[in-house]
């Protein structure tokens, strides 16, 4: 017996809901391992830069570690992007962590940006490297949809340098997609220390 169109649609919605709940289940398991409240907040907000600016009353600026042709290419980028001109951008965000002004790296982000999906002003601001992607979106009042793809616990010696530590650093990685007019434009891996 052939399945009705309504039944097929209901099944698709169920699969979609299950797909969306998976990142939340991953987050619940990993969030308990993150000790600092600020770090937990970073992993749960869509607007990281705005959160840091509001809670710390400081201007957040990215420290650009790399910006250019991709040297790492996760499968999600080739799966979701149809763009040809992809830019990879690696940044860290450093903020004051106490009253004496000590600086602490709270986030390392590696982004893949579909440059040909963005308008000229967005590309210029991005290439100038003085503001975060979140600041560009907020400044331009862009309508961007955020989707958390997944969370993963990571231990890395390579990323230790980004957090100014020697040896292996223990992190939570959030993978997220940003869409403009339903089209994927930015894929990000954000790393936050446990």
Q: How many residues does the structure list for the chain?
A: 194
Q: Which residues pair with 180 in a beta bridge?
A: 144, 183
Task: Provide CB contacts within 8 A for 56, sequence distance 6+.
Answer: 95, 96
**Residue 5 pLDDT:** 46
φ/ψ of 37, rounded to 5, equals: -60, -40
**Residue 19 pLDDT:** 41
Indicate the fold that domain 5-193 takes in CATH. Answer: Chorismate lyase (3.40.1410)
CA-wise closest residue to 175 among 79, 60, 59: 79
The answer to whether the CB of 51 falls within 8 A of the CB of 71 is no
Residues of the chain with pLDDT under 70: 1-24, 27, 98-101
């Amino acid at each position: 017996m052939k399945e009705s169109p309504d039944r097929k649609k209901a099944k698709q919605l169920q699969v979609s809901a299950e797909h969306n709940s998976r990142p939340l289940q991953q987050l619940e398991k990993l969030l308990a391992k993150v000790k600092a409240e600020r770090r937990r907040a970073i992993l749960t907000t869509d607007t990281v830069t705005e959160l840091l600016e509001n809670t710390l009353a400081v201007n957040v600026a990215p420290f650009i570690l790399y910006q250019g042709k991709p040297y790492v290419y996760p499968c999600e980028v080739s799966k979701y992007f149809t763009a040809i001109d992809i830019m990879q951008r690696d940044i860290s965000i450093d903020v004051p962590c106490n009253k004496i002004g000590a600086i602490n790296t709270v986030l390392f982000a590696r982004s893949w940006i579909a440059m040909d999906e963005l308008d000229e002003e967005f590309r210029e601001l991005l290439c100038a490297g003085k503001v975060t992607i979140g600041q560009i979106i907020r400044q331009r009042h862009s309508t961007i949809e955020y989707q958390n793809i997944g969370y993963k616990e990571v231990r890395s010696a390579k990323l230790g340098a980004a957090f100014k530590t020697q040896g292996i650093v223990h992190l939570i990685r959030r993978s997220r997609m940003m869409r403009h007019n339903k089209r994927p434009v930015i894929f990000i891996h954000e790393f936050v220390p446990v």
